[in-house]
């Protein structure tokens, strides 16, 4: 049986996901409403700060990502990479239909957001591109979260 997993950081990148879980049934562009994207999780792998989400409760706040439909046994594999156990949240697909009970990784920290390493930024932008996000969305993500990109 498949379970749904919402990726919003480097796991947007299909090459990274293939290395981690092999394959998945399908994926859908989606967003998490009432949350904001922050970079406040120290990552030795990336040499800086990696993506996290924080609840704001504001309808206008959105975190863009992808819902992957994975075999249930792949969630512990993802947890071994991510760290904390996933929480279940409702995510909206791009047509605004709700996908209930999606596994999402988030870290409890009060650290303020930092600018992530360029390689991490590139991995996220490549992942959004691989999943067919619009140029407008790509530009929004770049301008909001990666202000030093040229």
Give me the domain span that covers residue 19. Answer: 2-136
In a domain, 149, yes or no: no
Closest by Cα among 92, 85, 84, 86 to 61:
92
Longest CA–CA span in the chain (Å) reads 44
pLDDT in tens, 36-62: 999 999 999 999 999 999 999 999 999
d(CA 62, CA 72): 27
Count up the domains in the chain and report the number: 1
Q: Residue 137, class by beta-carbon neighbours within 10 Å (0-12 exposed, 13-18 middle, 19+ buried)?
A: middle
Q: Is residue 112 included in any domain, yes or no? A: yes
The CATH code of the domain that includes 72 is 3.10.490.10
Average pLDDT, the chain: 94
pLDDT digit string (tens) for the chain, length 150 residues: 689 999 999 999 999 999 999 989 899 999 999 999 999 999 999 999 999 999 999 999 999 999 999 999 999 999 999 999 999 999 999 898 999 999 999 999 989 999 999 999 999 999 999 999 999 999 999 998 887 654
In a domain, 119, yes or no: yes
What is the value of pTM for the model shown?
0.94
């Amino acid at each position: 049986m498949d379970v749904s997993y919402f990726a919003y950081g480097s796991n947007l990148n299909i090459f990274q996901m293939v290395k981690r879980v092999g394959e998945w049934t399908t994926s859908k562009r989606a967003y998490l409403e009432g949350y904001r994207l922050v970079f406040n999780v120290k990552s030795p792998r990336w040499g800086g700060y990696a993506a996290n989400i924080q609840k704001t409760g504001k309808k206008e706040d959105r975190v863009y990502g992808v819902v992957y439909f994975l075999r249930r046994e792949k969630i512990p594999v993802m947890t071994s990479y991510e760290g904390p156990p996933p929480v279940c949240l409702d995510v909206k697909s791009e047509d605004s239909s709700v996908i209930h009970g999606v596994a999402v990784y988030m870290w409890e920290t009060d650290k303020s957001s930092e600018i992530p390493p360029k390689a991490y930024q590139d991995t996220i932008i490549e992942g959004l591109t691989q999943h067919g996000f619009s140029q407008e969305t790509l530009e929004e993500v770049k301008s909001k979260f990666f202000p030093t990109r040229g």
